[in-house]
Structure 1
Amino acid sequence: MTEHQEVDLAALERALRTEVDGEVRFDAGSRGAYATDGSNYRQVPLGVVVPRTVEAGANAVAVCSRFAAPVLSRGGGTSLGGQCTNEAVVVDWTKYCNRLLSVDPQARTCVVEPGIVLDELNRQLAPHNLMFGPKPSTHSHCALGGMIGNNSCGASAQAYGKTVDNLRRLEVLTYEGARFWAGPTSDEEYARIVAEGGARARLYQGLRDVTGRHLAEIRRGYPKIPRRVSGYNLDSLLPENGFDVARALVGSEGTLVTVLHAELELVDVPAAEALLVLGFDDIYAAADAVPQLLEHGRPSQLEAIDGRMAQLMREEHAYLDSLERLPEGDSWLLLQFTADTKEEADEQAYELLRALGRDEDDASVALSDDPAREQEMLKAREAGLGVTARPPDGSETWEGWEDSAVAPERLGDYLRDLERLFGRYGYQQASLYGHFGQGCVHTRIPFRLREGKGIEAFRAFLFDAADLVASYGGSLSGEHGDGQARGELLPRMFGQPLVDAMGEVKALFDPDNRMNPGKVIHPRRVDDSLRLGADWRPVPRETHFAFADDGHDFGRAVLRCVGVGNCRTHQGGVMCPSYRATREEEHSTRGRARLLFEMLGGHDDSPVTGGWRSTAVRDALDLCLACKGCKSDCPVGVDMATYKAEFLAHHYQGRLRPAAHYTMGWLPLWARLARTAPGLANATLHAPGLGRLGKRLAGIDPRRAAPVFAPASFQESWRRAGRPEPDPRDPRTVLLWPDTFTNHFHPHIADAAVRVLEDAGFHVAVPAGPVCCGLTWISTGQLATARRVLTRTTHVLRPWLEAGTPIVGLEPSCTAVFRADAPDLLADDQDIQRLAAQTRTFAEQLVNHTPDGWQPPRTSRAATVQTHCHQHAILGADPDRELMRRAGIDADVLDAGCCGLAGNFGFERGHYDLSQAIAEQGVLPAVRDTAPSAFVLADGFSCRTQIDQAATGRHALHLAEALALAMDGPPPSDLPEMAVPRPQPRPAPARLLAAGVAGGLTGLAAAAVLAARNRARRTP
């Protein structure tokens, strides 16, 4: 019998909705999204509450207590020990309860709500030149409440200690309703609390009683090492430690109290930093060197990377710039020094080198005081979990023994014994890295968690590993806590008497075991509630995409998500725009991956039913912009845009689709039909009454202006010019790809590109017939049609494909289709493979393949540059940066995320507000702040459209346009860019509107009939 079987869920839900100011969700989608965290474990919650205030969160706990329902407080949900998954009511504090309430710069303290993210806190503290010291690798998205619950550390703990070392007070709430501030307790304060009586007095008396009876065991039994995170902090209750109840509650993982507020101790932001990297023959030699390094130096960070991790980065083409800066060796130690000045930080590094008898010029030494370079190097170390999770060889690695810790002076011997233990169980090729300055070791192990024997070995290994680390006087966990992964192992480390003492504390605070039950104390077995497990039987799924990198298995593709939560970041990169605007787990890449996992089946208790027809999955994917940011920004390469397209293809198979799938999804066809009378088409689309009606019927948001068709397409103008077709085999020939957006809406961009390419010495060819990459059909999940469109396209392109002619794309989203989507959709088509290999961006062609001596036309202009999401994720923007540099463009390349339009997404009804909210998070404010004389550059049609329609007062240009303008020389009187006109089609005369309406509707009807006939012919 599970803990919640006696709970009246319907009544609980009603009470929560009535009494709690928050979002109360007992639906399948929410429960599926919160069913697991970053661990191996999975437990479906009863429901989810997202309180709007801390008081509302406290009310939610009170309601749950009245119904005897278990409670789980959750922050970023990145826990690796299973702390953040439970059959309980999940209280997610991160969406609303995320404020910095006060700062005292003199005392160097602040008060925060539990849902505030660490990086956001430090951004708000920056004006005071203060920060919170501990910095886990998840600093961009971990919440302070979670850090307190987990006693988080990170690389900076070398200088600042763990979360427990940086905490002054906590306001906490017990399951039975006692609410109070806790901190250090003097004898006088203790006497006052006891005299007041009540629940708090009972708790304090009980804690003193437990401590007093186990005083010697607590003093002896807690390892005296820098990184002990396992178990409750009973040592904080020792008299010599001030009977600090707040610090005793840190690391209790929500099993004792709910944290409502925290008063934190802050540190100064370092003024200067230097990074010293030392190479070693292997990771054991690196570990052996740590004590000597600590003896002669005081690094603020001392991190390790082994050769296995570096090799995986090379195979995955990740952090290659950082790898190139590593000195000779097969394993490396990264030591960061901080000081008030650059010279002082450098001197610390030089002083250590002298003590070691090494020199800056040694091949095994690299020294940097470039902050940007240092951050990239340290990011490479932080990326260890993602890099090692899904090796390119197709194997799978898992957490379970990912952060054991020993004294630094015993680290080398411990690693050798751990490696021998790996060998006994056949767990070769496990990477070893981590916070070596504090003896903390990270690793992911190829446990076989899909089969009974593999799970037996997993369990046996954990007990042997626990005995090993205990024999070294170490800790089961040096960073990630116990949860379910190590709770059962605690007696191996502490002995049963100390674990029994922890159980007494649990009984004091939570006598009925309702606070995150089954974690730390009275834990579930380490091999229970596994996300996979021997009884996991997912339903095989036939797919349109090949998923070749995942063994042609959609399920393995979904399992790429390891829950690290980088998709929940608030700034930088592209991933995940919908989460950044909504702060909803369900609308993060991770949340969607969790729902797709539930959709696969395999667990009898899955809340997500219906397979491909699941409405819960459809609703979660509805707000996915298909920006592909996750494909590059996710450390394990989750490609939610592809998963979404695959899902939509099956979800709507044989069923009526949303109207936008027929309008925006078939845009290339409608654009070709509009060529018969573009002026009438524009008049119809923009007529005040009729345009609004048409948008409603087409599934387009009425606030979104329809793009304007050009008077003549680029291909039409090209044919009329009668230009001779160059020889495809001439090495100077390039084929300019006439994508739908450039061809029909912005042909002037293609004209500009031709001018620049010809100036560079190329002979430009253009396909004579209609061609399309199929992008709009792919993004709407009409994959069978997309395959046919791509196949027809390759037939048209065959002469150039056979000749090896470079194909130059101007629209990043279409170019990315050729490089990524098309080869996955038509994996066995050799012409598609040739197309992928021969496709280049405009900048790639000009930077990497122009004749020697050619230089782009120069313009001394600044530019704000918005990189298209697909370019960021698939194509890369380095050639564009280089081309702009050569052209004299002072480019400010935004790191502001997605523009929010994302192809059809921002046009579809129901998406407009989110689209604008995403744009206002970075792109549009940056455009408005751009100097009038500067360019606004955006190669993506969606980006330009969003900027043009958002009343920024600016027109965004393609890079090809900027270079073509430079060819014409400076504008008169230094004419600012915003005054440079973009060719605009003239609207049709009013008297032609009726004819336009009739013609447009007739054309649409005829096209629909033609499409239906074609489908009927293809149906057996």
Structure 2
Amino acid sequence: MAFMAEHSKPVALGLDDALDRRRHEAALRGLIAGEVRFGAHDRMLYATDASMYQVEPIGVVIPRGVDDLQRVVEYCRDERLPMLPRGGGTSLAGQCVSRAVVIDVSPTLTGLEWVSEEARACGVQPGITIDDLNDRLRGHGLFFAPDPATARQCNIGGAIGNNAAGTRSIRYGRTSESVEAVELLLSTGETVTLARGSGLTEPIARRLSEGVIDICRRYEPFIRERFPKTLRRNAGYGLDGMLADIDEAAHRGVDPLETLNLARLVCGSEGTLGIVTHATLRLHPVPKAKGLAVIGFASMDEAIDAVVPLLGLHPSAVELLDDMVIGLARENIECREFVELMPQPGEKSGEREARSEESKAGPRPMSAPRSPLSAVLYVEFFSDHGTEEIAERFDRLRALIAERCPSAGVACYTDPESMARALKLRKAGEPLLHGVPGSRKPLGFVEDNAVPVERLSEFVREFKRIVACKGTVAAFYAHASVGVLHVRPLLDLRDPADRKAMEEIAVEVSDLARSLGGVMSGEHGDGRARGPLLERYFGSELMRAFREVKALFDPMGLMNPGNIVPLGEHPESIESIHERTRVRPAGFDLHAAPAATWFDYEREGGFDHAVELCNGAGVCRKKQGGTMCPSYMATLDERHSTRGRGNALRLAVTGQAVRAGSERAESDNGSENGSPLLASRSSLSPAWNDPETLATLDLCLSCKACKTECPSNVDIAQYKAEYLAQSYRARERVPLRARVFGHVRLLNRIGSALAPVSNFVAAHPLHRAIVDRLLGLAPRRTLPRFERSLFRRVTGVPPPAPSQREGEVRNVLLYGDCFTAYNEPRIGEALLRVLGAFGYRALVVDAGCCGRALISTGLLDDAARTVARTAARLVEAVEQGGATAVLVCEPSCLSAIKDEWLSLRHAGPERDRLRRLASMSFLPEDFLDREWEHHPRRPAFVKPEGAVALHGHCHQKALWGAATSARLLRRLTGDSLRVLDSGCCGMAGSFGYTKERYDLSMKIGELSLFPAVRSLGPGDVLVAPGTSCRHQVHDGCAREAMHPIELVDRLMVR
């Protein structure tokens, strides 16, 4: 069974002549003020989206405004170049990849142009994201209702193109129900306003409207018979909606031009009809009250069977997660605490509330549930009347569940913070699936079927039978309230048997959905995943109708060609659903040549599989909130997002960067293989020293936020270090700056030994100018001062004698990190005073460098040797001294012990001893809080005079969280503590010192940290555990921050 044949294509679709490409690039640069990127590396970064597909575009254009957009379209029209409008690139069916000129509107066309509270409407540009729009509408008491899981990073233009819906479509409908009008730029260069009745007054709108009316009348019997009647449907062009407008006109006895709204036809058209340049959106009042009930079931069947009865309570959403998603969340650092929040089957309310309180304090080890949690339903309620109505719905829900499934656990929330925390697991569902280890991955090709809700359980049972017959399993989650389940079978596209199974599953599931009165796409659209099956589902007559719609709007076939309708006259010209995928972009398997790595990637199946973990969901493309990804937040550039870096690494490791870099000046004769710059062989040598890949990685701050905030746990910081090390090995040379920055402990030790002379020399203008030139330092960046080392300061000075409780003697080690020991020894001295006051015997250990700077600069050979020595010394000190904890003042050094030490090969002591060492290593403030009830003694403290603000370190927030640090400070300061949502400071160790990165470093600081610091009063205290963070605040805000232990020491009663 095959869905593939030769392409018919626009004239330029086979373009790959380098001379032609350079001609187009030069011409476009001369036409527009925006960016034109036709280089191979940039093209490949736009070759993927959130789907499994990879198709190299002709080039990328980022218009600065609508005028630029107009000029680009006119040029492409004249040259017959295909065009693909793109925003966040979050498409799940491959709609955002094509052999076309990609027009990325997401960085620039982001305006909210007007808001009318009276009309409950607003006007927007296509590049604004849904969440950004709603953030800006909050002050008006209104919101845009469609809420797909990607709302933080998907654009309004994409939501229109995909007819996005989300969790609350049962109450508010799809995007097509929330769009009043669009301005559409056609491939002819014409601009038309499409709105209800616009065909009466505007000539272009009239021509298009009359054409659609004619098509609907000629194909009316087929539209009425074959379009599904489900609540959610998103396949083909929405001719059923157009026919409904025509029916309304007939019922009212008016001209159908008066009732027809072609803006609704544009919704779900996947960029194949034109480019939206402006949209008028319908808004809704923010509900007066909201509530969320979370129900934990012991089986999937119990959860499915509860859906229809729950709909009788009139919820705004009912969402489902199955055991596969839950199991993956348990293994995810960021998500495991949200699993712990879920009500467990058989659990009483009080037990769950106790666990919930513990989880607010910080992550805890997972406890064994009373019964296996196999499915979760989220039931959301909105009320326009108030909290009493929400409480009444909760009572009815509890009664219903108690009657139908008494073993199910129920938790109800009404405060926004708790609801947001509970929903984080649901929002992470799809990206979490891509963290499945092994060669089989959950693939999105039948992930969007919609069936009548009352037949949902039948659909699930039959679907499970189908995938079981193919020897695999599938994950189930999503919008149970409207009969939409996002189901992803686990398959390996490198395996011919799995590719065959993929096509068979696609056909059988599509037939199953149709037999139950459903459709194969409820919201994700057709794209490459379902386009090949459209004729099988709708029939040849409706495919002809779709082709006529396409020709009416896009007579030259230039807009996102090949989506929804085939490129030529024959439906079979659409490709197979398993062609042009990331693992087989040219029709053959890509296998990276084996390479010896410094880090252990056994769990991922090797480094080549590790760099494939990114699923393209674009969670890293958010503009605010959290830490990931600071360089993207500052640049809004795809290249400098986590996804961009993940793609660059994948292309380099699989050798595609080498082929792309060759820029062969020859045509691919149609480029049926989808990646014309690939050689026709499956084993490509990794491009370990690719300049473009190195440039893309260069602006990564190694903040580690992606290790946890990315649901797929893509650890770009570690992958970057690995790639840098491989590049040094490939070119047999390490840059001087990397050597100096990497060996910071040696530099600090020498500077400390020579202080204060070293400080005088470092500050001398001539010396500073020479160093700046040699190392490429930013002249505006201040340099750290050297101090007499902590080791020399405490030599021979015994710690205060502890007051033993019941004869207990507790020893702890203070690890002398590179910065506490040589630059800020006052912090170590403060910690010794605090530990003595708490009754501990503390020993300062000079074990050597943790290797953090060596790892970050890619000097992994040196790092492995250094870590082996340091780890052996620390383990020995712990065992000989009987220490119960190792305290590390610098978070980045602690993160090395807890993270990279466990994955570096040849890291000295055996892994079990390293894991034990990691488990007993803490920031001192975390240790003091965790042991609060068990300290040998506890000193008294005074309250601070002003407020206290805490800025957490990126590694701290990413790997173990700042909750315990905040809790300790809250114990001492009460309500005066404010935990800043300040993201990354932008310094990132040596990153912020360099001349070429200084401006970006400060721009990142300005995103959230600097404004938060400037908002503090003169008597307030800023606390930051990271030395880089304190340095950045000093340089960016001319304000001093202190380490948390310094504050504890200051507040302690002597």
* Matching of residue 599 in structure 1 with residue 652 in structure 2: yes
Q: Which residue of 1 aligns with 2:943?
A: 860
Does the C-alpha gap of structure 1 residues 622 and 271 become closer, same or farther in structure 2, counting only changes over 3 Å?
Answer: same
Does the C-alpha gap of structure 1 residues 191 and 183 become closer, same or farther in structure 2, counting only changes over 3 Å?
Answer: closer
Q: Which residue of 2 aligns with 1:211?
A: 216
Distance of 2:553 and 2:767 partners within structure 1: 66
Partner-residue secondary structure (3-state), 2:989:
coil
* Matching of residue 253 in structure 1 with residue 270 in structure 2: yes
Deviation at 1:503, TM superposition (A): 1.1
Deviation at 1:201, TM superposition (A): 4.4
Deviates more, 1:779-788 or 1:305-314: 305-314
Does the C-alpha gap of structure 1 residues 192 and 869 become closer, same or farther in structure 2, counting only changes over 3 Å?
Answer: closer
Question: In structure 2, what residue type is equivalent to 1:64?
Answer: C
* Matching of residue 307 in structure 1 with residue 323 in structure 2: yes
Q: Which residue of 2 aligns with 1:406?
A: 451
Distance of 1:816 and 1:440 partners within structure 2: 41
Q: Which residue of 2 aligns with 1:546?
A: 599
Q: Which residue of 2 aligns with 1:772?
A: 849
Distance of 2:241 and 2:993 partners within structure 1: 57
Deviation at 1:261, TM superposition (A): 0.6
Q: TM-score, normalised by structure 1?
A: 0.90
Distance of 2:128 and 2:91 partners within structure 1: 16
Deviates more, 1:561-570 or 1:802-811: 802-811
Residues 236 and 244 in structure 1, CA contact (< 8 A), matched pair in contact too:
no
User: Which of 212, 228, 231 does residue 236 from structure 2 map onto?
Assistant: 231
Residues 900 and 919 in structure 1, CA contact (< 8 A), matched pair in contact too:
yes
Stretches of 4+ moved more than 6 A in 1?
359-362, 722-726
Residues 332 and 708 in structure 2, CA contact (< 8 A), matched pair in contact too:
no
Question: In structure 2, what residue type is equivalent to 1:302?
Answer: V
Does the C-alpha gap of structure 1 residues 788 and 547 become closer, same or farther in structure 2, counting only changes over 3 Å?
Answer: closer
Does the C-alpha gap of structure 1 residues 62 and 391 become closer, same or farther in structure 2, counting only changes over 3 Å?
Answer: same
Question: In structure 1, what residue type is equivalent to 2:315?
Answer: P
User: Which of 854, 858, 883 does residue 781 from structure 1 map onto?
Assistant: 858
Residues 353 and 360 in structure 1, CA contact (< 8 A), matched pair in contact too:
no
Deviation at 1:792, TM superposition (A): 2.2
Question: In structure 1, what residue type is equivalent to 2:754?
Answer: A
* Matching of residue 266 in structure 1 with residue 283 in structure 2: yes
Does the C-alpha gap of structure 1 residues 709 and 828 become closer, same or farther in structure 2, counting only changes over 3 Å?
Answer: closer
**Identity percentage of aligned residues:** 36
* Matching of residue 743 in structure 1 with residue 829 in structure 2: no
Distance of 1:410 and 1:153 partners within structure 2: 21
Q: Which residue of 2 aligns with 1:1013?
A: none
| Deviation sequence 1:642-693 (CA, Å, 0-9, x none) | 1111111122234544443133222211111113321221112212343133
Q: Which residue of 1 aligns with 2:358?
A: none
Distance of 1:100 and 1:111 partners within structure 2: 6
- The size of the alignment, in residue pairs, is 955
Question: In structure 2, what residue type is equivalent to 1:212?
Answer: R
Q: Which residue of 2 aligns with 1:367?
A: 412
Q: Which residue of 2 aligns with 1:713?
A: 789
Does the C-alpha gap of structure 1 residues 357 and 621 become closer, same or farther in structure 2, counting only changes over 3 Å?
Answer: closer
| Deviation sequence 1:282-321 (CA, Å, 0-9, x none) | 2233222222222x21111111122332222223352424
Q: Which residue of 1 aligns with 2:683?
A: none
Q: Which residue of 1 aligns with 2:1043?
A: 958
User: Which of 135, 160, 175 does residue 163 from structure 1 map onto?
Assistant: 175
User: Which of 573, 577, 581 does residue 530 from structure 1 map onto?
Assistant: 581
Q: Which residue of 2 aligns with 1:347?
A: 392
Residues 297 and 408 in structure 2, CA contact (< 8 A), matched pair in contact too:
no
Distance of 1:384 and 1:450 partners within structure 2: 25
Q: TM-score, normalised by structure 2?
A: 0.87
Distance of 1:934 and 1:859 partners within structure 2: 15
| Deviation sequence 1:308-351 (CA, Å, 0-9, x none) | 32222223352424543324263232111112422222223324
1:922-941 aligned within 5 A? 922-941=1008-1027
Deviation at 1:391, TM superposition (A): 2.7
Distance of 1:355 and 1:421 partners within structure 2: 32
| Deviation sequence 1:157-191 (CA, Å, 0-9, x none) | 12211111100000001111121100123xxx535
Deviation at 1:953, TM superposition (A): 4.3
Distance of 1:662 and 1:332 partners within structure 2: 51
| Deviation sequence 1:617-637 (CA, Å, 0-9, x none) | 000001000111100100010
Partner-residue secondary structure (3-state), 1:764:
strand
Distance of 1:601 and 1:327 partners within structure 2: 43
Does the C-alpha gap of structure 1 residues 766 and 605 become closer, same or farther in structure 2, counting only changes over 3 Å?
Answer: closer
Residues 173 and 260 in structure 1, CA contact (< 8 A), matched pair in contact too:
yes
Does the C-alpha gap of structure 1 residues 32 and 720 become closer, same or farther in structure 2, counting only changes over 3 Å?
Answer: farther
User: Which of 502, 508, 516 does residue 552 from structure 2 map onto?
Assistant: 508
Partner-residue secondary structure (3-state), 2:527:
coil
Distance of 2:374 and 2:609 partners within structure 1: 31
| Deviation sequence 1:666-724 (CA, Å, 0-9, x none) | 221111111332122111221234313322212211111111112x1111111253779
Distance of 1:231 and 1:797 partners within structure 2: 64
Q: Which residue of 2 aligns with 1:791?
A: 868
Deviation at 1:525, TM superposition (A): 2.2
Residues 321 and 477 in structure 2, CA contact (< 8 A), matched pair in contact too:
yes
1:34-73 aligned within 5 A? 34-73=46-85
Deviates more, 1:316-325 or 1:330-339: 316-325
Does the C-alpha gap of structure 1 residues 651 and 620 become closer, same or farther in structure 2, counting only changes over 3 Å?
Answer: same
Q: Which residue of 1 aligns with 2:833?
A: 755
* Matching of residue 894 in structure 1 with residue 939 in structure 2: no
Residues 178 and 200 in structure 1, CA contact (< 8 A), matched pair in contact too:
no
Q: Which residue of 2 aligns with 1:581?
A: 634
Question: Gaps spanning 5+ residues in structure 2: where?
Answer: 1-6, 249-258, 346-372, 567-573, 663-685
Deviates more, 1:686-695 or 1:169-178: 686-695
Partner-residue secondary structure (3-state), 1:611:
coil
Residues 168 and 265 in structure 1, CA contact (< 8 A), matched pair in contact too:
yes
Q: Which residue of 2 aligns with 1:848?
A: 930
Deviation at 1:37, TM superposition (A): 0.4
Distance of 2:589 and 2:529 partners within structure 1: 19
Question: In structure 2, what residue type is equivalent to 1:371?
Answer: P
Distance of 2:174 and 2:937 partners within structure 1: 56
User: Which of 709, 719, 724 does residue 633 from structure 1 map onto?
Assistant: 709
Q: Which residue of 2 aligns with 1:819?
A: 898
Distance of 1:934 and 1:604 partners within structure 2: 51
Deviation at 1:725, TM superposition (A): 13
Residues 470 and 492 in structure 1, CA contact (< 8 A), matched pair in contact too:
no
Residues 658 and 699 in structure 1, CA contact (< 8 A), matched pair in contact too:
no
Deviates more, 1:551-560 or 1:602-611: 602-611
Distance of 2:307 and 2:872 partners within structure 1: 62
Residues 630 and 639 in structure 1, CA contact (< 8 A), matched pair in contact too:
yes
Does the C-alpha gap of structure 1 residues 826 and 759 become closer, same or farther in structure 2, counting only changes over 3 Å?
Answer: farther
Deviation at 1:801, TM superposition (A): 4.1
RMSD over equivalenced CA pairs, Å: 2.4
Question: In structure 2, what residue type is equivalent to 1:843?
Answer: E
1:148-187 aligned within 5 A? 148-185=160-197
Higher relative contact order (CA 8 A, sep 6+): 2
Does the C-alpha gap of structure 1 residues 520 and 859 become closer, same or farther in structure 2, counting only changes over 3 Å?
Answer: farther
Deviation at 1:481, TM superposition (A): 1.0
Question: In structure 1, what residue type is equivalent to 2:715?
Answer: D
Residues 47 and 57 in structure 2, CA contact (< 8 A), matched pair in contact too:
yes
Residues 117 and 142 in structure 1, CA contact (< 8 A), matched pair in contact too:
yes
Residues 544 and 825 in structure 1, CA contact (< 8 A), matched pair in contact too:
no
| Deviation sequence 1:229-270 (CA, Å, 0-9, x none) | 111111222203632111011111111111111100001112
Deviation at 1:131, TM superposition (A): 0.8
Residues 385 and 444 in structure 1, CA contact (< 8 A), matched pair in contact too:
no
| Deviation sequence 1:373-419 (CA, Å, 0-9, x none) | 11111221111112222235775222211121111111111111111
Does the C-alpha gap of structure 1 residues 537 and 215 become closer, same or farther in structure 2, counting only changes over 3 Å?
Answer: same
Deviation at 1:919, TM superposition (A): 0.5
Distance of 1:832 and 1:287 partners within structure 2: 45
Question: In structure 2, what residue type is equivalent to 1:871?
Answer: Q
Distance of 2:93 and 2:658 partners within structure 1: 21
Deviates more, 1:73-82 or 1:206-215: 206-215
Partner-residue secondary structure (3-state), 1:917:
helix
